[in-house]
Amino acid sequence: MTPEDIELFSKVVKERSGLHLTPEKAYLLESRLLPVARKLELDSVAELAKALRLRPREPMFEAITEAMTTNETLFFRDNGPFERFRDHILPPLLESRASQKRLRI
């Protein structure tokens, strides 16, 4: 996939979803868009980019956007930040405000 292909897909995703993809995410584009390319009977993501440039169609835009966005709406789907908050941030906050017996977040 060329830098121009990455830029093309990033632009499509940004315009349609607001998601900003940097060139460092090329691996993510490649892995998520290869199934889209194959579904459209194309051999590669590079061919998908070429097809998008030559004959852009709404279903293609939709498939690309769908493949690149996370459709999980569960707020607590990633436990790591909440566990760190509970284990490392909250205890010192509670201790420093113990005399007030009040904590606003």
Shared domain for 13 and 35, answered yes or no, is: yes
**pLDDT given at position 75:** 74
- The encoded tokens of residue 73 equal 């709406």
For the segment 6-32, the average pLDDT, to the nearest whole number, is 94
Shared domain for 19 and 52, answered yes or no, is: yes
Shared domain for 63 and 76, answered yes or no, is: no
Shared domain for 59 and 91, answered yes or no, is: no
Query: In the chain, what is the greatest distance between 2 CA atoms, to the nearest angstrom?
Result: 68
| Domain that residue 13 falls in | 3-68
The CATH number of the domain where 27 resides is what?
1.10.155.10
Shared domain for 62 and 76, answered yes or no, is: no
pTM for the model: 0.67
Provide the domain count of the chain.
Answer: 2
DSSP 3-38: HHHHHHHHHHHHHHH-----GGGHHHHHHHHHHHHH
- The encoded tokens of residue 65 equal 């956007």
pLDDT interval class at 104 (50, 70, 90):
confident
pLDDT in tens, 50-86: 999 999 999 999 999 999 997 776 777 778 888 999 9
**pLDDT given at position 18:** 92
